Amino acid sequence: MTHLNFVTLDVFTSTPYSGNPLAVVFLEDTALTQSQKQTIAREFNFSETIFVHPVNDKTKRTIDIFTTKHEIPFAGHPTIGAATWFLHHSTNPADSSNVTTLTTKSGDIPIRANSSDKTVAAKIAHNTRIHAARFSLSELLRLHPSLAPFVREDATFPVFSVVNGMSQVFVELPSLEALGAVALASGGELVSDQYLDEGWRNGLICLYFFVRGWRIVS
């Protein structure tokens, strides 16, 4: 049986048991299969789990990012969580001065530490694209019938990729009331890759709901 070390982190917070949880699994020289990684990510049941590859270059760390259902090329809180681990909390003290780059499926991401407040900064890799096809109203209402009173009959929605393999349908809604009507997708949020251009039909596609011009003041 293979034994792997792991830690769990709370990202975007300084308060334990708050923020965004992240599992960090450290791979050994014996590689795990894709299926094994997916099983481990599903067992943690966090929004994301990362797998850190064995060290080949003291300045770089290669990570794989998994949701409970898929591997994805990039996500924000796993990237910041990984950077925080290596630059501030690693069990290898040399990492804090040596590690300058995270290698992900979306590309290399330079990272640096802010020693004054124990935070980190990352220069995020991106390869943006607005796809030719637009997401149809019928598909939106199939997934989210509660939005029927709020959207125009001729509405369609742009499909955007921040990197190849991570795409979002931008659904602009007319009011906060409409945004509040968004519920879990009927039967699960399955979006066809037919809305993506040739050569981009892989990875995660999700819906991003927003209302233009509003901000919340606490």
pLDDT of residue 155: 97
pLDDT tens digits along 64-84: 999 999 899 999 999 999 999
Judge whether 48 counts as a catalytic residue: yes
At 217, is the pLDDT very low, low, confident or very high (cuts 50, 70, 90)? Answer: low
With a cut of 60, say whether residue 218 has pLDDT above it: no
The string of pLDDT tens digits covering residues 175-196 is 999 999 999 886 667 788 999 9
Percent of the chain at pLDDT > 70 equals 96
Model confidence pLDDT, tens digit, residues 32-51: 999 999 999 999 999 999 99
Q: Is the dihedral of CA 127, 208, 15, 39 positive or negative?
A: negative
- 124-169 pLDDT, tens per residue? 878 899 999 999 999 999 999 999 999 999 999 999 999 898 899 9
pLDDT exceeds 90 at position 203: no
Mean pLDDT of the chain: 92
Confidence (pLDDT) at 215: 66
pTM over 0.75: yes
User: Going from the N-terminus, what domains does the chain have, and what CATH number goes with each?
Assistant: 5-122 (3.10.310.10), 129-211 (no CATH)
Pick the catalytic residue from 48, 153, 177, 198.
48
Tell me, what's the pLDDT at 187?
Answer: 67
Q: What is the pLDDT of residues 114-123, one digit of tens each?
A: 888 889 999 9
Contact 84, 120 (CB under 8 A): yes
**103 has pLDDT over 90:** yes
